[in-house]
Amino acid sequence: MTERYDSSVGLAVRVYIEDTDAGGIVYHAKYLHYMERARTEWVRHKGVGLRAGLADNISYVVQRLSIHYGAPARLDDELRVTAEPVAFGRVWMDFRQQVVRRSDDKVLASADVRVACIALDSGRPRRLPVNMLELLESSLKTNSQVE
């Protein structure tokens, strides 16, 4: 399945057998995979290429994560996974994320995720690149105008 991020609805994901346990319920760690994909696709949708960052010795790692599992996703469910930037600093960005079942708009999981920018060669924190800072500033400005 080709996954595309749509800013109005998030990332569409279907639950496959590989995502579930023997009872057809999504394994808890798979939600983190879905959220990672949603953040990556959000950045790509906004025009920032991550491969170019790798060439510039830049990578991103999850530094902090708080997740609440409200209800299970099941085999063959269609999900919507969102990634909304809510804050950023010199070396980090915070996202609020949700996994929602599309059939009934039920929030299955919600998370607050802090992603840090690091230098690939040393693993040490480094400043967010200018294009990422501009993207975050623009997105937060747009989000505050909508609210």
Residues noted as catalytic = 21
Question: How far is the C-alpha of 127 from the C-alpha of 36, rounded, in Å?
Answer: 21
Question: How far is the C-alpha of 125 from the C-alpha of 120, rounded, in Å?
Answer: 9
Q: Are 74 and 19 in contact (CB under 8 A)?
A: no
∠ CA 37-86-9, rounded to 5° = 50
Question: How far is the C-alpha of 13 from the C-alpha of 34, rounded, in Å?
Answer: 8
CB-based burial of residue 31 (10 Å sphere; 0-12 exposed, 13-18 middle, 19+ buried)? buried
| H helix or E strand, kind and range, residue 38 | helix 30-45
